[in-house]
Structures are given as C-alpha cells and as structure tokens.
Chains A and B, each alone.
Chain A
C-alpha cells in the first residue's frame, strides 16, 4: 500500500531551537496538508498545498511557523524558534482531490517535544 512518510517520528529539542519536519506524500497526490494534534485542541489544520502552491496557512502561527513544498515529493514544516507550547504530534496528509476521491491518507506523525 502507498503511504505518506514523515520524518523524524520523534523529536526532542530545547526551546529556541529550529525544528524541521518532513513529509513525503503519496506519489501522484496533488494536495498536502499539515495538521497538529494536542490533547487540548484536538486536530488543527495548519496549512495545505495544491500542486505545491500554498492555498491556506491561516491556522499557522506566522511568526514562527513556515510550510513549504520544494518539490512534489517533499513538504516541510519548520518552527523557528520553537517553544514548549509547540509540543504536539504533527501529521502530514495527502490526497488526489481532482479525482473527486475526497478522503486523505495520513502519515504516522512526528511527535515533537520542546523542553
């Protein structure tokens, strides 16, 4: 089965450090999402891309977060500087929306701990 690959699976970092999370979407999928999951807020949509172009990043703290798709096989989410409140599980998901086949495939997530 095709899968969305996220790296790293776990990351522990000190407050103030830069964190980069990577996602390899399923080949051929044209839409990529970044979600954040916490106990308090649940699943929050941070940003998403269509054909590598950013469509919406309104859910993302602009001052410290940035999301990019340098090519069709890689999406990145960066936090600089990181803060303890950024501790969460970050999920990437991809889908082929144009086909009408709504319903996305999620990666296994990056568990980020900022100390």
Chain B
C-alpha cells in the first residue's frame, strides 16, 4: 500500500523568501502525486498534480513541484512566498492497486509566512 511522508510538520519562512516543502512516497509502481492546500476552516484545494510526462509540474498560486522517481520524492517549491500562503499543505498519492481512485494523504506541513 502506498504511504506518504512529509518530513517537516512546521515550516516558518519570511515573506518573499523561497520555500520547499518535502514529500516522499513509498511505492515501487507508478503512482499519481498531488499537493493540496488547506486554509483555516476551509476544505482542501488542489495545487497541482503529477500523472505522467514532464517531471516538473506547475500549479496555481506560483507553486511548482518536481517528481523524482529515483528518490521517490515530490517536493513543493515556491520562489517567493506571500503572507497569504500561510496554510496547511498536504502531499498525496494514489496508485494502481485501487485504480488510482483512492488518494492517501500525508500528515501535512504547516507553512507560516512571517512578515
């Protein structure tokens, strides 16, 4: 079964600084990978997804992620963060065992942007 590890539970970063949120998955087969964002008291919103093709995926709000099969990683990056990026970020994976339907979420990383 797939699983997702998000190495950092909390990441503080100054406004306009770059940020990287780390995600590793455990699977030996082809998987789909996702990043979701959750703002306070809201549901999750899809930031970006990797299904196949180019390993560099661009998403909304200036975020991008790079799929690295050899390292089983899918780290999320943004070159310059804003106060409004303060939120919880979830990495997620789905795989062929369940026809890619079931999305398993990591524990989340809380990003705090400091003015």
Contact = CB atoms under 8 A, between A and B. Distances in A.
Given A45-B104, A48-B101, A106 B45 contact: yes
Contacts, number: 50
Contacts of B107: 42
B108 A97 contact: no
Interface string A76-109: 0000000000000001010001001011111111
A43 B46 contact: no
B49 A103 contact: yes
B103 A91 contact: no
Interface string A19-60: 000000000000101010000001101001010000110000
Contact of A102 (B42, B49, B105): B49
Contact of B101 (A55, A100, A106): A55
B90 interface: yes
A106 B108 CA distance: 16
Contacts of A107: 43
Contacts of A104: 46, 103
B94 interface: yes
A31 B43 contact: no
Nearest to B98: A56
A106 B105 CA distance: 13
A79 to B, nearest CB: 20
B100 A102 contact: yes
Given A31-B101, A102-B49, A108-B42, 17 more contacts: A4-B43, A35-B105, A42-B105, A43-B44, A43-B105, A45-B103, A50-B101, A55-B101, A91-B44, A100-B51, A102-B94, A103-B46, A104-B103, A105-B46, A106-B36, A106-B44, A107-B43
